[in-house]
Amino acid sequence: MSDKWMQLVAREFNLSETAFLMKIPDVPANNEFSLRWVNPKVEVNCNPAQLYIEDTENE
Segments forming the whole domain that contains residue 18: 3-44
Residues 2-57: tens digit of each pLDDT? 888 999 999 999 888 888 988 877 766 667 788 888 888 888 877 544 455 555 55
pLDDT value for 27: 65
pLDDT value for 8: 92
Q: Which residues contact 41 (CB under 8 A, 6 or more apart)?
A: 7
- The answer to whether 46 and 36 are in contact (CB under 8 A) is no
Q: What does pTM read for this prediction?
A: 0.63
**Is 39 part of any domain?**
yes
**Is 8 part of any domain?**
yes
**Is 18 part of any domain?**
yes
Can you name the residues that pair with 20 across neighbouring β-strands? 36
Q: Is the dihedral of CA 52, 56, 57, 59 positive or negative?
A: positive
**Is 52 part of any domain?**
no
pLDDT value for 57: 52
